[in-house]
Amino acid sequence: MTTFIKKLSLLLCCISLLHISINAQNEIDALRFSELDWQGSARFMGAGKAFGAVGAEFSALNLNPAAIGLYKKSEVTFTPMTISIFKNNSGYNGSSTPAQAVKYNIGSAGMVFAIPGISSTLWKKIQIGFGYNRIKNFNNVFSMKGRNAGSTIGSVFALAAEEEEYNYKEAYAMDANGNFIWPVELWAAWDSYLIDTIHGYEDRYCPLMKGVDMLHSSSVTQKGSIDEMIFSLGTNYDDKLFLGATIGVPFLNFTENRTFTERNDKHTSEYQFKNYNLTDKLTVRSSGINLKLGVIYQPVDFLRVGLSFHTPTYYGNVKDRLDRTVEFKPATTVDNDSYRNDFHYSLTTPLRAMANVAFFIQQRAFISAEYEFADYGMATMYAVDYSFTEENKAIQNMYGFSHIARIGAEVSLNQVFALRAGYNYISSPYKDDINDGSRHYASLGFGFRSKYFYGDFAYAFTISKEKYWMFDSNFVNAVNNQFITHRIMLTMGVRF
C-alpha cells in the first residue's frame, strides 16, 4: 500500500477509530480545526449570519470588522442561551442506528463603545469593541451497528504486521520498561486470535475471522468548541465609508470519546476469537491568533457593499492527548491493555476572504447576501521533533476550496417588532468527491427593540451527510451518516 493510499484511507475514515501509530495528529485534525461554523447572537443567526454589509451587529465583527463602523450608539449584548438538539442517523450494511443529544452553551457576549469622531472633520465616529463569539461547535454524537458482511478489523492488523515485518515471537516480548514490543493494538489482535501467522511463515499474517458473520458497533461523542475573543476598532467617514479591524484570539477545546467493537456473537467460527474492543479518548487544547480587516461602502442610501480578509490563524502550541484502551476476549478469558500518548504541534489554518452586499428598503427592511471562500489545502502542521511531511502532502492532495453562500432578510413590522429569515449553503472541502462535507442551514427569528433595550429569538436548522468508515476503507463498507441539528437562541442587549 502506497503512502498516498494510506493517507486517503485515513481521510475517508473521517476521524477513524483505528490508528496503528500512537500519534493521533493528521490531516483530519487539520480540517477539523480549520473549518468554522460562525455562531453568535440570535439576530445574527436568525437572519442567516449575513450581516457583513448590514453592520451594527456584534457577531458580525468576526466576519467583516467594518460592521463595527455602523454603530451610532454604545451597546452591551449577551446571548445566555443556545440550545442544540442533535438528531442523527447512521446506516451500516442495511442497519440503521439513531442517536440524539441535547447541549447547552452561551453563544456570545460583548460590548461596543461609539465615541464621537474628530471634530470639524467628516470622521463622525470611532468605535471600540471587545467580547467573544463561538465560531465552531464540536458537539455531536452518532452510533452505528450492523452485521459486518464478512469484513474484519483483523485485515488491517494483519497488513500492518506484515508491513512492519513483525515476528510473532515478539508479541510476548517486553522491553526494559515492561511494555510489549508489539504495539498494543497488534498484540491484542494476536492474543485474541483475531490474526495469526500463515503456516510456515513467522512474518506473514492472515485475518482469521475474514468472511465470518460478526457484529460491528461503534459510537462517537464529540464535545467542545472554538470560542474567539475579539478586540475590534472601527471608524465612520461621512456615513459613506466604514473601516474596521479585529484581532481574534481563538480558544480551541475539543474532546472525542469513541469506541469500536467487533464481536463473534454467533460463535460460528472454528477459532477462539470472541470480541475485540477499542476505546479512545482524544483531547485537544490550544489558543491562537489572527487578524481580520474589513471595509463597507455605501454609495447610495439603499445599498452597501463590503469586503473582508482574514489572515491564517496560528495555533502555536496544540496539546494533543490520546488515551486508548484495548479489551479483548479469546475463549473464556478477558484481557486488556492501555496507553497514553501526549504530543505538541503547531497548526496554521487557511486564510479567508468574504464579499458582502445589502439592500435596504425605506429603512424598514433589508436583504443581504455574502460569499466566503477558503482553501483548506493551505492548512499546515509542523512540530520541532516531527516534520509532518506526509500529513501536509495529504492535506494538499485531499482538500481544496470551500465556498459558502449566505442570504438573509429582516423586515420591521413596526417600530418595535421585526421578523428575520436566512439560508446558507456550505460546499464540501474535499477534492474529487472523496466525501461529502457540504451543509445546508436555514433559520427564522424575531425580535423587539425599544430605545434602550432589545431582545431577539432565533431557530436554526442544519443538515449534512457524510460517509464514515469504522476502520480502513479498503476492508469495510462505509457508514452513511446524516446529521440534523436544531438550535434555539436567545439574546438580550442594552444600548446607551
Domain of residue 159, residue span: 153-208
Return the pLDDT at 140: 96
Specify whether 202 is located in the same domain as 217: no
Domain boundary among 192, 208, 224: 208
Q: Do residue 199 and residue 265 come from a single domain?
A: no
Task: Note the pLDDT of residue 435.
Answer: 86
pLDDT band at 182 (very low <50, low <70, confident <90, very high): confident
C-alpha–C-alpha distance, residues 496 and 485, integer Å: 36
Give the C-alpha distances (Å, rounded to integers) separating 94 from 91, 145, 467.
6, 10, 14
- Write down the pTM of the prediction: 0.90
- Tell whether the model's pLDDT for residue 4 goes beyond 50: no
Identify the residue whose cell numbers are 493517507: 7
Contact between 65 and 294 under an 8 Å Cβ cutoff? The reply is: yes
Task: Examine the domain organization and report whether 231 and 185 are in the same domain.
Answer: no
**What is the predicted pLDDT for the residue at 357?**
98
pLDDT at position 10 over 90:
no
For position 37, what pLDDT does the model report?
94
Q: 191 pLDDT band (50/70/90 cuts)? A: confident
Q: 378 and 267, same structural domain?
A: yes
Domain end (from 171, 190, 208): 208
The 10s digit of each residue's pLDDT in 454-483 is 999 999 999 999 999 999 989 999 999 999
d(CA 185, CA 276): 10
C-alpha cell at 466: 457524510
Say yes or no to pLDDT of 17 above 60.
Answer: no
For residue 392, what are the contacts with CB-CB under 8 A and spacing of at least 6? 27, 380, 381, 382
Pair (183, 270) in one structural domain: no
Q: How confident is the model at residue 53 (pLDDT cuts 50, 70, 90)?
A: very high
pLDDT at 211: 93
**Does residue 167 share a domain with residue 61?**
no
* Dist CA 198 CA 175 (whole Å): 26
Which region among 87-96, 168-177, 200-209 has the lowest average model confidence (pLDDT)? 168-177
179 CB burial (10 A radius; 0-12, 13-18, 19+): middle
Question: By percentage, how much of the chain surpasses pLDDT 90?
Answer: 76
Mean pLDDT of the chain: 90
Number of structural domains the chain divides into: 2
Q: What is the pLDDT of residues 303-325, one digit of tens each?
A: 999 999 999 999 999 999 999 99
Task: Answer yes or no: do 475 and 371 share one domain.
Answer: yes
- Give the domain CATH number at 14: 2.40.160.60
Whether 21 and 169 map to the same domain: the answer is no
My answer on whether 302 and 193 are in the same domain is: no
Q: Give me 177's grid cell.
A: 520498561
Task: For residues 45-74, give the mean pLDDT.
Answer: 97
How far is the C-alpha of 241 from the C-alpha of 117, rounded, in Å?
A: 14
Do residue 244 and residue 318 come from a single domain? yes
Pair 179, 216 in one domain:
no
- Is the pLDDT at 12 greater than 60? The verdict is no
Domain boundary among 189, 208, 227: 208
324 lies in the same domain as 221? yes
* Count of alpha carbons within 13 angstroms of residue 294, beta-carbon side: 37
Tens of pLDDT, residues 154-174: 999 999 888 777 776 776 676
